[in-house]
């Protein structure tokens, strides 16, 4: 018996663009629903079931940032934000709102499929009951449960997006070892290393704040100038 296709919600108010994107994604085996209004998208995400959300920023009703921030506490699947400007500030705000990834318009269809597959594969592996949970990772007062994808600092539970959890798990498994940016791009993000791309630094910065790590003098996730990061034992 074949598996049910992943159900995506495409939130885009450009009818021509959303039509083309829907046709392309449907052709790749996804089930796609489309919503053009941000406020309506919030209601649909809260009342219906989707595996991932592709979310434009410029929307009527509520912009993409507001949609993401509103639904993130209850929606655990991947959220990929689309921005027409390619502005770094958009990337910062998107991550702050809880997005897992962001792509600049015009979006290359095959690049979008590649990102979707990565995020859905990781989300599926973390939520599947058939996957045996890995052993808990403990570094000081920080504990990571791969099976439930839970993170705690002392007795405090930390709410992380799918991408943030993947990042902290990757670094924590290598605690005490310097991990290069290139390793993180290739192994974790599964994209070629781009020395000008700051998306990884933005993720690390947000993760530090959630863990209560001083961004100016971090003690958990330390920056190693010119190399990458060190998750301190």
Q: Is 104 helix (H, G, I), strand (E, B) or coil?
A: strand
Cis peptide before 106 (omega within 30 of 0): yes
Residue 111 lies in a domain: yes
202, 150: one domain: yes
Q: What is the CATH number of the domain that holds 90?
A: 3.40.50.2300
User: In this predicted structure, what is the pLDDT of residue 56?
Assistant: 95
**Burial of 67 per CB tally in 10 Å (0-12, 13-18, 19+):** buried
Q: Which residues lie across from 137 on neighbouring strands?
A: 144
Co-location of 143 and 227 in the same domain: yes
Looking at residue 65, its pLDDT comes to 94
Report d(CA 75, CA 102) in Å as an integer: 17
Could you give the 3-state DSSP secondary structure of residue 229? strand
Residues of the chain where predicted confidence (pLDDT) is lower than 70: 1-2, 85-87, 126-134
Question: Looking at the structure, do residues 148 and 215 belong to the same domain, yes or no?
Answer: yes
* Radius of gyration of the CA atoms of the chain, in A: 18
**Residue span of the structural domain in which 45 resides:** 7-127
Shared domain for 96 and 39, answered yes or no, is yes
Same domain for 49 and 117, yes or no, is: yes
- Count how many domains the chain has: 2
Strand (E) or helix (H) holding 55: strand 52-56
pLDDT of residue 128: 47
| Phi, psi dihedrals of residue 177, rounded to the nearest 5° | -120, 135
Look at residue 34 in the predicted model and tell me its pLDDT.
98
- The CATH code of the domain that includes 159 is 1.10.10.10
Distances (CA, A) of 95 to 98, 100, 132, 162, 201: 5, 7, 30, 12, 11
| Other CB atoms within 10 Å distance of the CB of residue 98 | 23
Chain-centroid distance of CA 87 in Å reads 18
């Amino acid at each position: 018996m074949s598996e049910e296709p992943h159900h995506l919600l495409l939130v885009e108010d450009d009818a021509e663009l959303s039509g083309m994107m829907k046709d392309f994604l449907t052709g790749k085996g996804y089930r796609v629903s489309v919503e053009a209004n941000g406020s309506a998208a919030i209601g649909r995400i809260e009342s219906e079931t989707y595996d991932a959300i592709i979310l434009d920023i410029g929307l009527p009703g509520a912009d993409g940032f507001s949609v993401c921030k509103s639904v993130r506490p209850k929606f655990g699947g991947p959220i990929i934000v689309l921005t027409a400007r390619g502005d770094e500030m958009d990337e910062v705000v998107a991550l702050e709102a809880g997005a897992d990834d962001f792509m600049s318009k015009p979006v290359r269809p095959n690049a979008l499929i590649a990102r979707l597959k990565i995020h859905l594969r990781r989300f599926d592996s973390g939520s599947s009951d058939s996957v045996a949970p890995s052993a808990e990772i403990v570094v000081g007062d920080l504990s990571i449960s791969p099976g439930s994808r839970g993170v705690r600092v002392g007795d405090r539970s930390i709410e992380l997006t799918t991408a943030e959890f993947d990042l902290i798990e990757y670094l924590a498994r290598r605690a005490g070892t310097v991990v290069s940016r290139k390793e993180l791009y290739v192994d974790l993000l599964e994209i070629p290393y781009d020395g000008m791309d700051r998306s990884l630094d933005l993720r690390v910065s947000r993760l530090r704040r959630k863990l209560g790590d001083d961004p100016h003098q971090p003690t958990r996730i330390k920056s190693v100038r010119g190399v990458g990061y060190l998750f301190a034992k």
